[in-house]
Amino acid sequence: PKDLADFIISLKFSGEATNSLQSNLLEFILSRHDVKEYNLILGTEQGIEMLEKELSDSSLKDLGFNYSTVRAVISALEIFKNRLVQKYKLIDNSSSFNESTLELLWKNKGLLIVDFSADGSPGVDIATKQLIVSYIARSLLNYLTKAKYSGNQKLIGFVIEEAQNYIPSNDYPVNASITKDILVTLATQGRKFGLSLFLVSQRPAFVDKYVLSMLNTFFFHRIYHEDLRYVMSASGGLPESLAKAIPSLDTGYVVVNGLMSALKVSALVRIPWDPKLGSYAGSLERVDRVLLED
188-205 in b/e form (b: 16+ CB < 10 A) is: eebeebbbebebebebbb
Region of poorest pLDDT, from 91-100, 141-150, 203-212: 91-100
* Alpha-carbon span 87 to 81, nearest angstrom: 8
Report which listed range, 60-69, 244-253, 281-290, is most confident.
244-253
Note the pLDDT of residue 266.
87
pLDDT at residue 286 is higher than 60: no
Report which of residues 59 and 114 the model is more confident about.
114
Note the pLDDT of residue 288.
54
Contact status, residue 170 vs residue 211, Cβ threshold 8 Å: no
Quickly state the pLDDT bin for 282 (edges 50, 70, 90): very low
HSE-up of 51 (CA within 13 Å, CB side)?
A: 32
Q: At what angle do helices 177-189 and 2-12 cross, to 10 degrees?
A: 140
Indicate the average pLDDT of the chain.
84
pLDDT at residue 16 is higher than 60: no
Name the nearest CA neighbour of 193 among 229, 241, 150. 150
CATH architecture of 97-215: 3-Layer(aba) Sandwich (3.40)
Note the pLDDT of residue 95.
52
List Cβ neighbours of 143 (8 Å cut-off, separation of 6 or more). 99, 102, 103, 154, 156
* Alpha-carbon span 119 to 108, nearest angstrom: 27
Interval 153-207: pLDDT, tens: 999 999 999 999 999 999 898 888 889 999 999 999 999 999 999 999 999 999 9
* Alpha-carbon span 44 to 27, nearest angstrom: 18
Note the pLDDT of residue 235.
76
Report which of residues 294 and 174 the model is more confident about.
174
Interval 72-131: pLDDT, tens: 999 999 988 887 777 666 555 555 677 888 898 888 888 888 888 888 788 888 888 998
Task: Look up residue 269 and give its DSSP letter.
Answer: E
Name the nearest CA neighbour of 142 among 150, 90, 162. 150
pLDDT at residue 48 is higher than 70: yes
Sign of torsion, CA 220 125 89 98?
Answer: positive
pLDDT at residue 212 is higher than 70: yes
Q: Provide the residue ranges of all domains of the chain, joining segments of one domain with +.
A: 1-95, 97-215, 217-294
Helix (H) or strand (E) holding 125: none
Note the pLDDT of residue 26.
92
Please give the model's pTM, rounded to 2 decimal places. 0.74
196 in helix, strand or coil? strand
